[in-house]
Amino acid sequence: MKVLILCTGNSCRSQMAHGFLQSFDARIQVESAGTEASGKLNHKAVEVMKEIGIDISSHTSDSVEKYLDEEWDYVITVCGGANESCPAFIGKVKHRLHMGYDDPSHAVGTPEFIQSEYYRVRDEINAGFRKLYDEEIKPQLG
């Protein structure tokens, strides 16, 4: 089972989703990429994932170009805000899904509020990808 998770910058939401999905089942090959990959991970995303025991610090922020020639069981976009354009993926894909989440790196306010946005989005991604795994992916793995 191969899953590609796409976002714009590939530094925050797609990285968290990648970490969660990989932690659910080692039989899934998970990659993440961005249409405008930032080349680095969002440090707050790494921090809030580490707090729950998932280390994404070794992930890389890659361009979607790296994966265009591969075949995928799932390609999932996770960008959500109206100001963002979700990438279109025209490769060989069995299932295309969109699971939009707010970008916590755009949160404005007190440090406490910004941190709470990272927790909220992390927990929403966890719930969404857990549901996808339980209901669609796990049954296909047998």
Average pLDDT of span 19-25? 98
Kind and range of the H or E run holding 110: none
pLDDT at 62 over 80: yes
- How far apart, in whole angstroms, are the C-alpha atoms of residue 25 and residue 13? 19
pLDDT of residue 41: 97
Average pLDDT of span 48-68? 95
pLDDT of residue 79: 87
12 is an active site residue = no
The catalytic residue among 1, 86, 93, 107 is: 86
7 is an active site residue = yes
Q: End-to-end CA distance of the chain, in Å?
A: 11
Give SS3 for 83: coil
Q: Which of the listed ranges 41-55, 56-70, 71-85 does the model predict with the highest average pLDDT? A: 41-55
Domains and CATH numbers, the chain: 2-141 (3.40.50.2300)
Nearest to 57 by CA among 28, 27, 19, 13: 19
pLDDT at 67 over 50: yes
Write phi, then psi, for 28 (nearest 5 degrees).
Answer: -95, 130
pLDDT of residue 87: 58
- How far apart, in whole angstroms, are the C-alpha atoms of residue 84 and residue 13? 13
The catalytic residue among 5, 7, 21, 37 is: 7
pLDDT at 82 over 70: no
The catalytic residue among 30, 64, 79, 132 is: 79
pLDDT of residue 83: 44
